[in-house]
Amino acid sequence: MSIETIKIVPFDDQRPGTSGLRKSVKRFQIPHYLAAFVQSIFNTVEDLQGATLVLGGDGRFYNREAIKIILRIAAANGVKKILLGQSGILSTPAVSHLIRKYYALGGIILSASHNPGGPEGDFGIKFNTTQGEPAPEHITERIYQNSRIIDHYKIAPLQAIAMDKIGEFSIENMQVEIIDSVSDYADYMETLFDFTAIRNLLTQGDFKMLFDAMNAVTGPYAKEIFQNRLGAARNALMRQHPLANFGGCHPDPNQAHAKELMQRLYSPTGPNFGAASDGDGDRNMILGNYFFVTPSDSLAIMAANASLILGYREGIKGVARSMPTSQAVDRVAEQLNIACYETPTGWKFFANLLDDQRISLCGEESFGTGSDHIREKDGLWAILFWLNLLAIKQDSVENIVRAHWAKYGRNYYTRHDYENINSDAANELMQALREKTHYLVGHRLSGQKIVTADDFSYRDSVDDSYTEQQGIRIIFENDSRIIFRLSGTGTKGATLRVYIERYEANVQKHDLDTQKTLKTLIAIANVIAKISEYTGKKRADVIT
């Protein structure tokens, strides 16, 4: 049977964001929409002929249909082999690991991460390169430019595609190998962490854990790792079965969207340790009994204790954080005398630093943490790190965090999200802020002097690439910060994120309410940006 060439008119909205192309499911279901973007990837990626690719997704609605289309287009474009997760399931960290382990040219990940799923939800697709990392900007820009002029795609004939049973089949001259979605990743985790110590923690005392998979991709991984390999109790997992609509929930691991987990941890009889991961498995939330660990603090504590962990006993080379993430890890890096990098939001900005061996750990305030073991943030890796640390220290989550604050000080930190706002209004708000920055420096607001006001830009120290307009920074003389940024992960309207931070060295002031402590800065943020005026909202939709 012959390869078909399908004539199309290009779409005008296929510019990838910080994590690939994300749109509503209905947009992706428009005839030729997904095919056009996939062909643009294949038109852009070099050395595609005869290559091996990894393919999988988080199991959300349209995942299976998309995989069938991608397989046919891959076969038509000369791909030699596809490693496909069983039933089309692969977490984002697992894809990164598989690319690296099997020396694949790259991988295609189908996910909209923490965005809602189902027929009325969102879908997404992104390409990861040969190091397992999200495609850098120069590649995503080439994909986008191709998507603007593409006039056809190539596709192999329709055939029955069975993806639920491990094995092999062919499409034209391309081999498709259905692989176990979990085993390679789980085996790798055993090389990084002391599974014997964690197993003893979970089985030889009264320690209890609870993991919320949020009906997303990490359910099968959690069952294999936490229960089968580490001996966690049967009731240690909740919402562990991946569902196409995530059970109607928003698979974002934070206080607002993991309410049942929060309720169970904030209980006198609650578990000692709680955690959650998101839609595609790359984010994490860490909880103790009656205690929430901010992602920024989590990164800093990992950096401070990395030498205790099996895979990092030789020490860490450096750390990196996204610009909006709190400066807690900076203080650890200073004491460890290692480099600390501040990058724009988006994991691809960490990839160059990881590849160049300048850093070992990195993280973002949006519940993402990772290391040089792969080139994506990794939710279960972070949770295993914490379990290993608890097993070593034989202490509670709260005590570990408080001891860290006592040594390094506490960075009070919050993020206020204003969701689904008018895109034009959001852009006007940001432009107005940019125009203010040049005269804000030196001004005092509520008694606090502004020493820096700018639109963050980044010069990559590895490849000298330059990225600008990454968020408005207002920095005060006491190192307090207010950051304004538009999110690149939503699909409806715009999301304004406001990040607010204040450092406190005094141990006697480490037990204050975060929102009350930051009340003055929150008020300053609203005044400077005129948030209510531009958004029509009196308060944030989500506060974390």
Q: Which residues contact 431 (CB under 8 A, 6 or more apart)?
A: none
Question: Where residue 486 sits, what CATH number does that domain have?
Answer: 3.30.310.50
Q: What is the mean pLDDT of the chain?
A: 95
Q: Which residues contact 342 (CB under 8 A, 6 or more apart)?
A: 320, 321, 322, 323, 458
Domain that holds residue 458: 410-543
d(CA 219, CA 209): 15
Q: Which residues are catalytic?
A: 113
* Residue that finishes a domain, picked among 148, 181, 214: 181
Helix, strand or coil, per DSSP, at residue 26: helix
Whether the model clears a pTM of 0.85, i.e. scores above it, the answer is: yes
Q: What interhelical angle do 379-393 and 92-101 show, nearest 10?
A: 90
For the stretch 259-280, pLDDT in tens is: 999 999 999 999 999 999 999 9
Looking at the fold, whether 106 and 212 belong to one and the same domain comes out as: no
Report, as ranges of residue numbers, the positions in the chain whose pLDDT lies below 70: 1, 488-492
- The two beta strands, 152-155 and 4-7, are antiparallel
Torsion region of 375: left, alpha or beta (phi above 0 gives left; psi -120 to 50 gives alpha): alpha
Helix (H) or strand (E) holding 379: helix 379-393
Contact (Cβ atoms closer than 8 angstroms) between residue 110 and residue 57: yes
Measured on CA atoms in the order 215, 217, 218, 223, is the torsion positive or negative?
positive
What pLDDT was estimated at residue 490? 52
For the stretch 492-519, pLDDT in tens is: 678 999 999 999 999 999 999 999 999 9
> From the centroid of its chain, how far is CA 210?
21
Looking at the fold, whether 272 and 245 belong to one and the same domain comes out as: yes
Looking at the fold, whether 141 and 39 belong to one and the same domain comes out as: yes
Contact (Cβ atoms closer than 8 angstroms) between residue 532 and residue 526: yes
Looking at the fold, whether 444 and 317 belong to one and the same domain comes out as: no
What pLDDT was estimated at residue 238? 97
* DSSP code at position 255: T
* Residue that finishes a domain, picked among 125, 160, 181: 181
How many domains is the chain partitioned into structurally?
3
What pLDDT was estimated at residue 488? 60
Looking at the fold, whether 315 and 365 belong to one and the same domain comes out as: yes
- The two beta strands, 410-421 and 494-504, are antiparallel
Looking at the fold, whether 144 and 225 belong to one and the same domain comes out as: no
Looking at the fold, whether 13 and 155 belong to one and the same domain comes out as: yes
Structure token digits, residue 385: 């790190």
Q: How many residues does the chain have?
A: 544
